[in-house]
A and B are shown apart, each in its own frame.
Chain A
């Protein structure tokens, strides 16, 4: 039992530490939001990618960066209504 408890604690600690570690209760919305945010943050963090997108849209890199950050707030729309 102690092992199981420890594993449980470890999982919880990891979940607090690293965003995106799922559990059996992860909803589709959480999961997709996570993926989208990871991607957006990757676009911001890789200089060539950010530049590629900025050239495509014809705007400064800073503007593209802020736009991508804004999209990270709610990348896949609001969470679903709770089913009661």
Chain B
């Protein structure tokens, strides 16, 4: 018997993760121009970015999912090679190296060396990766014990051979950092920061722990003997955490920089104690800064200038960047090292300096930033600190160095790479009342926190905006002759009037062009060599040789001819190209003209008579090398689209019906163009059909036979669809106009049809615009003429952001008023009150000194302006202190924070709910759970409470009402049946609003095993999520007094729940802190039984099973996403789309789980996934099935990201895969099925 699971989901990544794990610069293309690219690892994706001065900022060259957890990346280049190779460590237990092939656009695997178990484990190397600067060896290491070295040698001209690994294990040793030393062409050396804890392991007194030493260990790879030796070690500062190599060679010192707490030391290889040079890390000066707080270096980079000079940029945990130099320059001796404040940039995981003069900061939180290097920081008058000022022994006393942070001077921000990372909470809602809902997220940490609105839309660049005298209904641009490269005329159709404009330095009205001005225009066409056609309801005007003398606006023209339709008929539709014109008359006739040898109109003898009203016509452009286009499409009111031939067939006939296609609604517009696709030729002819119902259809129109096939359908908006052929980013595309404009284009990477709305106002008519200054799209919307253009077709989302004060934790929306309540808290940070007090004190002290007691009225006027802007500088830290606030954000109308309530008394907000309490009419209340003096590991607090605020009717202000103490921090709050449901620790309680406090109505002690972190409700059912023990199903019984809250079902697996959502009454979808997404379901019988009795007596009598609830829920789907889901929701994403499960991950991933509705498709996808796992093995060397089953076997989820790899495979490979599918699938059919999964549910 075959059994089917009762649900199956298709997992798609909508937005790739943007948290950068590592970034390196290098020349990965190797075209000899010496260009540099940035290679970044985000989540499981490798991305190659290019920065160039010519184009604006960043461009993504290539990106690929490796289906493995990327841990480190590095580059290497063998002597004599022209390009850098890539080496990555992942969780695959393999060392994989790649070469980027720019022509094929792929990463080619060079080496694939298995060394250990898969997974991220303590002793499996991969946590650290170091490469010899000369590219001769690679060392990988684990956090404890294991180190492996691979030797790279050149074999032949291009091949690089890799040796079997050499082991350099040392048990009971932890590693902190690893670098490859620059020793020129001596034997390769690696330096490691190690800590041997074996003595502490056998010392029961616990004293040995305090006496452990951190060592700087040098490993030498003896290339002659082919073995690795632990050459030398020296004790370094116990707090050391990171190493940087110093350049080597004849005129450079070689050696290593060891950075620790308040400590940067230079060590020469095999150095003597006297040769150590030490610097303390400069500290910030300021009223709010603790002068005794020591900094550490978190990241940095070495940059070599031409001529042997070099410097380091090192970033501290505050974000301050220092420039460090080893002096003197150009010799192998080191006399001192100096450090100077450079600039302050947001905290980064990697800083990359590019030779083109850019600095790329892969920020830990928020947008990644590209800076331009204005100067090398030598001119600024910031204090310079020298190693001669500091003792070598870090414990010896010294004067700590101080500097004053200031605004950027050496760097200028050039570009922000939008990044959602980290997403703290998300909600999909349609507050702006648009066609499709918007995605609202709270992002970022610290001063760089923000509230973002994400939309599926293409960003456009507005070029020109100018008012029109009247409402315009149509716009065209045209050249004057077929040889012209740019457009000269703009023709506007105003209400029963036509306006002709000339494009020059200014756009001005052009008289005497010969156009009929007192009519509506239906079409304008540059015809033949030098003629222009104006098609209007009463005929066709044929104008020859329009010319302008120089910059004159008055035109001259040679001759005018008017063609008039038969009596009592008007032209209702037209289609044309340079050599052909077709018009449809009100009588249902279609007349066809061709261009004569002298450029005049020659009417064909044949005509078409259709017994339905003709709505629209379409003729493609004349194909290159032909005299005419072959087909014409006609849309009729009887819901058909008919294709007629325009070139003589076998019998020499034209205007014969070739095919008829039925549509679901009346076609309103048609267009035919050539667009790039995956066919062997690289492009195909497409017929685009727009329907009255707002549906868009694109089919391939065979150029030889005129047959229609390979159809894609999608609903765009509730209004009829009309089209314009345009060029977008250099590619042919179609602009579809309905309730809002859409662009149908070919995705630059996957070459499949992409439909994305524009982030622009709706308009009714548009045309392609090619001016001498710029190319774009001209459009008219009521009384405005606009020209815009597209930058990039790769990113189909747009962001709007509103800065927030502190790290946002959770938010809740007030749909009716379009506002969000965000709770924010910042650990180990001085509260706003304390900060202000310190600043004022500092100012007062200064005022006293300066004015010597003079009364100074301005002294009290110092406001927050004296504080360094936290977005760049962060907040002053204070151990154990919290800064926390509640902010109201209006993302729709005002697009700003409208109200802020600062929490005092070292309280931090931990949860929020919007409640309409029973008996308070329409008044809404905001409940905020707070904890005082909260601490983690171990979890501690002094008190906890729930604050209730009255929300003003417009949702824009809060008024404090009362605060009620509770036993433990309420990490979960929810509105429930006009009351407030509170999870405090393990207990679940129900509260009502009183005058002075909230009043407890019911309570269940020990409802869950650890701590309640989330509550979701539907009817009387409550889904309680536990911090470590999955979810518990609970029912509320209000027929008895006191009310009962009874847990009746829980899970068998300990899931560290991060977010949950009820998919339906029985089913819950959730995510956990290890990056899994799962669906669990309560068995139907248990579910029914829970709602049977109104007082729940049957449930109370049920015996607890194995120490938990009486019943167990069942797992129905499971998937490893490699990102911690922070919010999950069941929602629609598109206008007219179906509901999907949408989730947001901490690292900035947005993903969707789409339920399958057809078994045939599901079966195909299942087979396809299986085939792709084998035929297109993940780049990381990880087994795909094992990756998606990282913690728990994947269940009932098909990985759409893997499936979509099918789209970029070579044609042969695709055909061979399709050949293995059962069920008569063609390659096109599979393409369409894949397209539908993304196109109809997500974007």
Contact = CB atoms under 8 A, between A and B. Distances in A.
Nearest to A45: B120
A11 interface: no
Interface in B188-247: 195, 197, 200-206, 209, 212, 241-242
Given A19-B123, A19-B144, A73-B195, A47 B204 contact: no
B346 to A, nearest CB: 11
Contact of B936 (A45, A47, A56, A80): A56
B19 interface: yes
B807 A58 contact: yes
A78 B364 contact: no
Interface in A36-82: 37-38, 41-42, 44-49, 51-52, 54-63, 66, 69, 72-74, 77-82
Contact of A37 (B122, B126, B424): B122
A66 B204 contact: no
B81 to A, nearest CB: 30
B133 interface: no
A73 B298 contact: no
**Chain A binding site: helix, strand, loop or mixed by DSSP?**
helix
A48 B1124 contact: yes
Interface stretch (B687-695, B824-832, B925-933): B824-832
A74 B445 contact: no
B176 interface: yes
A51 B1074 contact: no
Given A19-B144, A44-B127, A51 B422 contact: yes
Nearest to B826: A58
A54 to B, nearest CB: 7
B724 interface: no
Contact of A54 (B143, B200, B364): B364
B829 A58 contact: yes
A48 B197 contact: no
A45 B71 contact: yes
Interface string B402-432: 0000000000000000000010100000000
B446 interface: yes
B145 interface: yes
Contacts of A57: 827-828, 936
A48 B1147 contact: yes
A59 B317 contact: yes
Given A61-B349, A78-B204, A47 B21 contact: yes
B870 to A, nearest CB: 13
A73 B197 contact: yes
A74 B1073 contact: no
Given A45-B120, A73-B195, A78-B205, A51 B200 contact: no
Contact of B143 (A41, A46, A80): A41
B73 to A, nearest CB: 12
B11 interface: no
Contacts of A79: 201-204
Interface string B1130-1156: 000000000000000111000000000
A19 B71 CA distance: 22
B200 A78 contact: yes
A55 B422 contact: yes
A48 B298 contact: no
Interface in B995-1040: none
Contacts of B827: 56-59
A14 B142 CA distance: 18
Interface in B274-309: 296, 298-299
Interface in B1105-1161: 1122-1124, 1145-1147
B143 A74 contact: no
Contacts of B351: none
A58 B1146 CA distance: 15
Contacts of B298: 60-63
B19 A47 contact: yes
Contact of B445 (A37, A55, A81): A55
A58 B828 contact: yes
B1147 to A, nearest CB: 6
B144 A47 contact: no
Given A47-B19, A73-B174, A62 B299 contact: yes
B347 interface: yes
A47 B68 CA distance: 12
B69 interface: yes
Contact of B171 (A19, A59, A77): A19
B93 interface: no
B1075 interface: yes
A79 B205 CA distance: 8
A52 B144 contact: no
A56 B446 CA distance: 11
A46 B120 contact: yes
B197 A47 contact: no
A63 B1147 contact: no
Contact of B197 (A44, A61, A66, A74): A74
Interface residues of A, number: 36
Contacts of B877: 58
Contacts of B899: none
Interface in B151-207: 171, 174, 176, 195, 197, 200-206
Contact of B174 (A42, A46, A51, A69): A69
B121 A38 contact: yes
A62 B212 CA distance: 21
A57 B829 CA distance: 10
A47 to B, nearest CB: 5
A78 B349 CA distance: 34
Interface string A15-35: 000111000000000000000
B661 to A, nearest CB: 49
Nearest to A63: B317
Contacts of A60: 298, 317, 347, 364
Interface string B804-820: 00010000000000000
A58 B364 CA distance: 12
- Looking at A20, A42, A62, the one whose CB has the most chain B CB atoms below 10 A away is A62
Nearest to B1123: A48
B42 to A, nearest CB: 9
A57 B936 CA distance: 8
Given A44-B143, A51-B422, A74-B200, A62 B317 contact: yes
A42 B1124 CA distance: 15
A57 B827 CA distance: 6
Contacts of B176: 66, 69
B200 A72 contact: no
A20 B347 CA distance: 37
A20 B121 CA distance: 12
Contacts of A62: 241-242, 296, 298-299, 317
18 contacts: A19-B144, A38-B121, A41-B121, A44-B127, A46-B120, A46-B1074, A47-B69, A47-B1147, A49-B1074, A58-B826, A59-B827, A62-B242, A62-B299, A73-B197, A79-B201, A79-B202, A79-B203, A79-B204
Interface of A: 18-20, 37-38, 41-42, 44-49, 51-52, 54-63, 66, 69, 72-74, 77-82
Interface of B: 19, 21, 43, 69, 71, 91, 120-123, 126-127, 142-145, 171, 174, 176, 195, 197, 200-206, 209, 212, 241-242, 296, 298-299, 317, 347, 349, 364-365, 422, 424, 445-446, 807, 826-829, 877, 936, 1073-1075, 1122-1124, 1145-1147
Given A42-B120, A62-B241, A81-B204, 17 more contacts: A37-B122, A41-B121, A46-B120, A48-B43, A48-B1145, A49-B1124, A51-B19, A55-B1146, A56-B936, A60-B317, A60-B364, A62-B242, A62-B299, A63-B296, A66-B296, A72-B174, A73-B174
- The 9 A-B pairs at the shortest CB distance, nearest first, are namely A78-B206, A45-B120, A58-B827, A62-B298, A41-B122, A81-B204, A41-B143, A66-B241, A60-B298
